[in-house]
Amino acid sequence: MRFRTWSYRFAEEVLNSKLPLKKEIEDIIRSINFPPAEISRPKLNDAFKKAFLNKGWKGEERIFEEPREPLAKIDFIKERVGVEVAFSHSSFLGIDMLKFQTLSYSNLDRIDVGVYIVATSGFHKKKFEGSITFEKVVKYLPHLRSAIQVPIYVYGLEE
């Protein structure tokens, strides 16, 4: 699958310092391939899950370690890189960003950079109507500058 990228708060530089992981993420994205008629949210999520887990990423990691804490989870984490694959409704943008922020700052300090994988608006073509898009992330994330201070590297999936 093809993609374009955008870097928030020097995320590209941070991710380049972990170049093997960056290449691994990009290889995973390139390996996801469906005929356009077969693309669906569940199929894409399953394909990404299988690909990341096969490369040794921890999946569905709890953000808070205490059992009594909220049950928020990050999709994948490995070597201080957190990944969210988001084909959900655009209202989840803030929640996803807070996951990265919480894992980076506060007393958790588990990631140095977040990676956000979303579809571009051209990829959506009604199947993903109302979902988070690359363009929305690029437009809105800079407005969250005071709240979201963790570097985030965004991949926008293209057809």
**Angle of helix 41-54 versus helix 19-31 axis, rounded to 10:** 140
Arch. (CATH architecture) of 2-29+38-158: 3-Layer(aba) Sandwich (3.40)
Q: Which one is predicted more confidently, 26 or 90?
A: 26
Comparison of pLDDT for 128 and 58, the residue scoring more: 58
Q: Which tokens hold the place of 105? A: 């700052």
Structure tokens at 28: 């995973």
Q: Is 8 exposed, middle or buried (0-12, 13-18, 19+ CB in 10 A)?
A: buried
pLDDT at 83: 98
Model confidence, pTM: 0.95
Q: Rounded to an integer, what distance in angstroms lies between the CA atom of residue 81 and that of residue 21?
A: 8
Side chain identity, residue 143 = H
At 128, is the pLDDT very low, low, confident or very high (cuts 50, 70, 90)?
confident
pLDDT band at 154 (very low <50, low <70, confident <90, very high): very high
For residue 54, what are the contacts with CB-CB under 8 A and spacing of at least 6? none
Burial of 25 (0-12, 13-18, 19+ CB in 10 A): buried
Please give the share of the chain, as a percent, with pLDDT higher than 90: 74
- pLDDT tens track for 66-119: 766 677 899 999 999 999 999 988 999 999 999 999 999 866 799 999 999 999
